[in-house]
Amino acid sequence: MERTELPKVGFVGAGNMAEALVGGMRAAGWPGDRIAVTNRSNRARLASLAAQYGVLAFPEKRQLCDHAEVLVLAVKPKDVAEAVSQLQPHVRPHHRVFSVVAGLTLARLEEAFPGLPVVRAMPNTPSAVREGVTAYALGRHASGRDAELARVLFGSVGAVVEVPEERIDLVTGLSGSGPAYVFFLVESLIEAGVRAGLAPEVARDLVVQTVFGAARMLRETGEDPAELRRRVTSPGGTTMAGVGALEEHGVRGALVEAVRRATLRARELAS
Ligand SMILES: NC(=O)c1ccc[n+]([C@@H]2O[C@H](COP(=O)([O-])OP(=O)(O)OC[C@H]3O[C@@H](n4cnc5c(N)ncnc54)[C@H](OP(=O)(O)O)[C@@H]3O)[C@@H](O)[C@H]2O)c1
């Protein structure tokens, strides 16, 4: 999409996720006068986002709706009803509504904004460093342009995939919560290094670079992870001993269960 075709985007909610997206969009070259933010009451926060990222900050939803074509709902699930009712009087037929709110279904978005194109998206926090991944599902009135807009907007902060809506809860449990699983593994590896006698900073440097390097290898080679693992595991060697302990202690099963439980929880929250 040409720079001049980039739509004006208005964030309803100016918290962590909105900031990750705004920062990524700006770093990707999205013009600051095509991005606006609003929130409920924290005016200092609006001013600081405007100053830091060179975007527009509007205290009123009316001003945001007058400015933007794409409205991005980025409030906590508990605040959605209030934010939607405050938006409704200002929403016009040219608007499209994208939501990153966990559990907010396309059906509920379409009920709130009848006839409008709506998109339900699930980004994750590495979006803040432009290494996120977002899955999105399109509503009934959404067109190819909405899919393109979703790809451009969320693509500015990482990879993007389209999924049918019934997969969004699974995506929430897998890539939405996934950074926390990786952080948990990293914490555990650092702890193992420290317990065995390494200085905490040294253990951290070793582990963080190992995770980063392994992730880059996966992405850049496109190889099957099981194959990459086999290549560093010689029979009777050290890695085999370590991976054997992971198998014995059920780490694979634990991760499968983590994704299953997080998915179920996402489904519960949605209903
Ligand atoms: N963080 C993640 O990893 C992640 C990943 C995927 C999706 N999400 C989704 O992103 C959404 C936002 O999460 P977050 O971590 O960014 O939350 P957050 O940091 O708590 O920010 C929430 C924002 O919503 C604003 N808000 C509340 N009520 C509002 C209203 N009536 N009108 C306008 N703004 C209102 C708040 O404004 P005030 O400060 O003025 O109250 C605040 O700016 C959540 O629904 C979450 O499910 C988050």
Q: State the pLDDT at residue 270.
A: 79
Residue 19 has a pLDDT of 94
Pocket test for ligand 1, best of 12, 39, 84 (most atoms within 8 A of CB): 39
Return the bridge partners of 36, or none. 10, 56
Rounded to the nearest angstrom, the distance between the alpha carbon of 17 and the centre of ligand 1 is: 7
Q: What is the pLDDT of residue 185?
A: 98
- Give me ligand 1 centre to Cα 186, in Å: 27
Determine the residue of 71, 76, 131 to mutate for testing ligand 1's pocket, defined as the one with the most ligand atoms within 8 A of the Cβ atom. 76
**pTM of the complete model:** 0.91
What does the pLDDT read at residue 3? 67
In terms of C-beta density within 10 A (0-12 exposed, 13-18 middle, 19 or more buried), how is residue 246 classed? exposed
Nearest residue (by CA) to ligand 1, atom 7, is 100
Q: Are strands 118-122 and 132-138 parallel, antiparallel or unpaired?
A: antiparallel
Instruction: Mention every residue, 6+ apart, whose C-beta is less than 8 A from residue 154.
Output: 21, 121, 123, 127, 132, 134, 136, 160
CA of 49 relative to ligand 1 center, distance in Å: 14
User: Measured in angstroms, how far is the CA atom of residue 42 from the centroid of ligand 1?
Assistant: 12
- Tracing tokens 């995506």 back to the chain, one arrives at 171
Per-residue confidence (pLDDT) for residue 28, from 0 to 100? 87
pLDDT at 5: 81
Residues of the chain where predicted confidence (pLDDT) is lower than 70:
3-4
Name the closest-CA residue to atom 18, ligand 1. 15
Q: Are the C-beta atoms of residues 151 and 159 closer than 8 Å to each other? A: no
Cα-to-centroid distance, 163 and ligand 1 (Å): 23
Which residue is closest in CA terms to ligand 1's atom 15?
A: 16
The answer to whether 10 and 67 have CB atoms below 8 angstroms apart is yes
Q: Which of 65, 75, 86, 134 to mutate to test the pocket of ligand 1 (most atoms within 8 A of CB)?
A: 75
With a Cβ cut-off of 6 Å, ligand 1 is lined by: 12-18, 38-42, 45, 74-77, 79, 82-83, 86, 100-102, 122-125, 176
At the topology level, CATH places domain 3-165 in Rossmann fold (3.40.50)
Could you identify the residue written with the tokens 């209030």? 82
Q: Give the atom of ligand 1 at the shortest distance from the alpha carbon of 101.
A: 45
Ligand 1 midpoint to CA 45 (Å): 12
Which residue intervals of the chain bear CATH 1.10.3730.10? 178-270
| Residue 10 CA, ligand 1 centroid: distance in Å | 14
Q: How many angstroms separate the alpha carbon of residue 217 from the centre of ligand 1?
A: 34
C-alpha–C-alpha distance, residues 81 and 91, integer Å: 15
Check residue 12 and give its pLDDT. 98
Q: Could you give the residue range(s) of every CATH 3.40.50.720 domain in the chain? A: 3-165
Whether CATH 2.60.120.10 fits 178-270: no
Q: Which tokens belong to 233?
A: 């595991």
Q: Give every CB contact of residue 150 below 8 A, 6+ residues apart in sequence.
A: 98, 119, 121, 134, 136, 138, 160, 162
